[in-house]
Amino acid sequence: MFKKLVPLNKEQHQPLRIQPINGFQFAADVHVAAVMVHEFARASAIYPIVFLEDPAQDKFYPVALLGLEQNENLFVTEEGRWQASYIPAVIRRYPFALARLGEDEMFTVCIDEGAELISTHEGKPLFSESGEPAEVIEQVKLYLGELQQMEVITETFCRFLKSHNLFTPLNMQVRVGNKVQNVTGCYVVNEQRFANLSDELFLQIRHQHYLAPIYAHLTSLSRTESLAMLKQGITSVSQPADDDQVH
């Protein structure tokens, strides 16, 4: 999705302006989007939510499946419209992101210099004439800060599931036309292990408010069939609401 992600700075980016997102061509080849536990309730009604493993970091993280193959986003039309009522937050933050930079690994706001939303003559300015961050940057900082807090909570949630051996590989088949397609390479909560938890551990999960996202995740897996239907072009879904966009 990102073409040239660089740290945002006033010396380099003061002349730039940003236009509101009015098309999602930039995400047309994104087949998975990271989601936070706070998004599970809304996202699970549309997308299958699964977990990917990052062996290098020894962790799992949740994603929404947007397609059944790599470089395939079934929710972006040829015109760039997003065919769903909820858009994952990591998509709505584009062309901005937080990245750890430097020896102290402090988070820095970055911008995709290759984004078509960036211009020198159209849209809202990123900086004032004196070099101070404009209102749009202050809003982006607030939004990215909220996402970072949600990510920390999501990482804690995933560590809990991993520590209690609740993840299991997904091996699902869906029919697309006359073909059967395998959905593999990701993980889900093992329903049998979850059902057999001790009363003490189940109460702990409830007290930590993990029950809702676990049930939302398990329920969402049936949406995989909806992806197959989208791939065949025999279903339609609504446009996103205006408040689902960042800018």
Q: Record the pTM.
A: 0.88
Distance (Å, whole) CA 35 – CA 44: 10
Pairing of strands 167-169, 49-54: unpaired
Position 177, amino acid: G
Asked if residue 94 lies in contact with residue 82, where contact means CB atoms within 8 angstroms, the answer is no
Domain ranges of the chain: 5-235
Distance (Å, whole) CA 120 – CA 138: 19
> How many Å separate Cα 233 from the centre of its chain?
23
Say what the pLDDT of residue 238 is: 38
127 DSSP assignment = B
Interval 72-89: pLDDT, tens: 999 999 999 999 999 999
Q: Name residue, tokens 């709505």.
A: 92
Asked if residue 7 lies in contact with residue 101, where contact means CB atoms within 8 angstroms, the answer is yes
The strand order across the sheet containing 32-34 reads 32-34, 59-65, 49-54, 187-189, 167-169
Q: Give the pair of three-digit tokens for residue 105.
A: 């690994």
Please give the span between the terminal C-alpha atoms of the chain, in angstroms, as a whole number. 18
CB burial string 153-191: b at 16+ within 10 A, e below: ebbebbeebbeeebbeebeeebebeeeebebeebbbbee
Interval 179-211: pLDDT, tens: 888 888 999 999 999 999 999 999 999 999 999
Interval 107-123: pLDDT, tens: 899 999 999 999 998 99
Q: Above 60 in pLDDT, residue 39? A: yes
Q: Above 70 in pLDDT, residue 130? A: yes
